[in-house]
């Protein structure tokens, strides 16, 4: 990855102002199973947070609570100036401002790449088709696949599909982007093209929460790294501190297993 990206990640940036995401004492249960325990997290505008941890530790569940794909039983989550409640209008309002990229891309297989990107702008933002298509093409160029616009998702490689998924989210012009293990389902040679896209997005100042095991990416662009285990935030630190000087036994064990 580029040295410019490294600078962007490591340089001290001013992340001031009111937090764009506030999670206060959030708890979630699946039946008897306590998936999220006492989550407290403030995310500043433009901040990049990487969340890692063993499987089943609740990291995906945590970010899925932010756009209400998951309900939570206790605590508060405030996105921008909207508090998530059971009010459908508020959930819609939050979802419009928060983009999400999934492990398995979840592109709409019956629509072309271009239609995938224009569906939500047309039906949610009520933008004229021409305009939506122009925006979509701009973002497809940014993720470097404008020539695939009229193909269907099934005709693209995994890496290309994931870049389309990123472009599709960006077309809604979100203020926050959530990434749920975006490279875990990719062949190794395709991981880089997706990470490069995410790095360039980070350099433009997008607020990002990324669940990933790509520790190289965490080192380069993260402002903070969060380690989760058994539904709890165990450790939260700058990447330098996190990797060179982990505080908790569980963090050390985890890092020992994934860093060779």
Partner 1 sequence: MARTPPVQSPPPDRGDATGSWLYNPAVRGAAYQVALAAAVVLILYEASTNAIENMRRLGIVSGFGFWNAPAGFDINQRLISYSSTYSTYGEAFWVGLLNTLLVASAGIVLATVIGFVVGIARLSRNRIVSFLAACYVEFFRNIPLLLQLYVWYNAVLRALPAPRQSLSTADAVFLNNRGLFVPAPVFGEGSGLLLVAAVLACAAIAVFGRWARRDQDRTGRQHATGLVSLALFAGFMALGWFAAGRPVTFNVPDLRGFNIVGGLQIYPEFVALLLGLSIYTASFIAEIVRAGMLSVSRGQTEAAYSLGLRPGITQRLVIIPQAMRVIVPPLTSQLLNLTKNSSLAVAIGYPDLVQVFMGTVLNQTGQAIECVVITMLVYLLLSLLTSLAMNIYNRRVAIVER
Residue 158, interface with partner 1 (CB under 8 A)? Answer: no
Residue 99, interface with partner 1 (CB under 8 A)? Answer: yes
Size of residue set near partner 1 by CB under 8 A: 35
Binding residue for partner 1 (CB under 8 A) from 16, 33, 126, 204? 126
Backbone Cα Rg of the chain: 18
CA dist., res. 121 & res. 212, Å (int): 28
Residue 95, interface with partner 1 (CB under 8 A)? Answer: yes
Binding residue for partner 1 (CB under 8 A) from 44, 100, 136, 186? 100
Quote the least distance from Cβ 63 to partner 1, whole Å: 11
**Interacting span for partner 1 (CB under 8 A) from 37-45, 106-114, 139-147, 183-191:** 106-114
Burial grade of 75 (CB within 10 A; 0-12, 13-18, 19 or more): middle
Binding residue for partner 1 (CB under 8 A) from 98, 194, 199, 206? 98
**Interacting span for partner 1 (CB under 8 A) from 54-62, 75-83, 165-173, 200-208:** 165-173
Residue 119, interface with partner 1 (CB under 8 A)? Answer: yes
Nearer to partner 1, 69 or 203 (CB): 69
Quote the least distance from Cβ 179 to partner 1, whole Å: 12
Give the contact letters, 39-68, x = binds to partner 1 (CB under 8 A), - = no.
Answer: ----------------------------x-
Q: If DSSP states are collapsed to H, E and C, what string results for the chain?
A: CCHHHHHHHHCCCCCCCCCCEEEEEEEEEECCEEEEEEEEEEECCCCEEEEECCCCCCHHHHHHHHCCCCCCCEEEEEECCEECCCCHHHHHHHHHHEEEECCCCCCCCCCCHHHHHHHHHHHCCCCCHHHHHHHHHHHHHHCCCHHHCCCCHHHCCHHHHHHHHHHHHHCCCCCEEEEECCCCCCCHHHHHHHHHHHHHHHHCCCEEEEECCCHHHHHHHCCEEEEEECCEEEEEECHHHHHHCCCCHHHHHHHHHHCC
Quote the least distance from Cβ 101 to partner 1, whole Å: 9
Residue 92, interface with partner 1 (CB under 8 A)? Answer: yes
Residue 90, interface with partner 1 (CB under 8 A)? Answer: no
Interface positions with partner 1 (CB under 8 A): 67, 69, 92, 95-96, 98-100, 102, 104, 106-110, 119-120, 122-131, 152, 154-155, 165, 168-169, 172, 178
């Amino acid at each position: 990855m580029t040295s410019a990206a490294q600078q962007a990640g490591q340089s001290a940036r001013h992340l001031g102002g009111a937090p764009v995401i506030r999670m206060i004492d959030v708890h979630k249960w699946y039946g008897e199973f306590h998936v999220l325990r006492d989550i407290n997290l403030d995310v500043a505008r433009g901040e990049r947070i990487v969340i890692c941890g063993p499987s089943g530790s609740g990291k995906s569940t945590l970010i899925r609570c932010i756009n209400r794909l998951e309900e939570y039983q206790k605590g508060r989550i405030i996105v921008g100036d909207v508090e998530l409640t059971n009010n459908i209008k508020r959930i819609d309002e939050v979802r419009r401002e928060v983009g999400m990229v999934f492990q398995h891309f979840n592109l709409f297989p019956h629509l072309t790449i271009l239609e995938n990107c224009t569906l939500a702008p047309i039906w949610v933002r009520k933008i004229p088709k021409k305009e939506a298509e122009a925006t979509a093409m701009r973002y497809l160029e940014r993720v470097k696949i404008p020539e695939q616009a009229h193909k269907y998702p099934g005709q693209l490689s995994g890496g290309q599909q994931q870049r389309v998924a990123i472009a599709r989210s960006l077309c809604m012009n979100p203020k926050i982007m959530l990434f749920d293990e975006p490279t875990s389902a990719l062949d190794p040679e395709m991981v880089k093209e997706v990470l490069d896209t995410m790095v360039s997005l980070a350099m433009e100042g997008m607020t990002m929460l990324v669940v990933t095991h790509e520790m190289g990416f965490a080192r380069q662009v993260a402002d903070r790294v969060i380690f989760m285990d058994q539904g709890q935030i165990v450790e939260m630190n700058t990447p330098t501190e996190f990797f060179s000087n982990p505080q908790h036994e569980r963090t050390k064990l985890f890092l020992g297993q994934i860093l060779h």
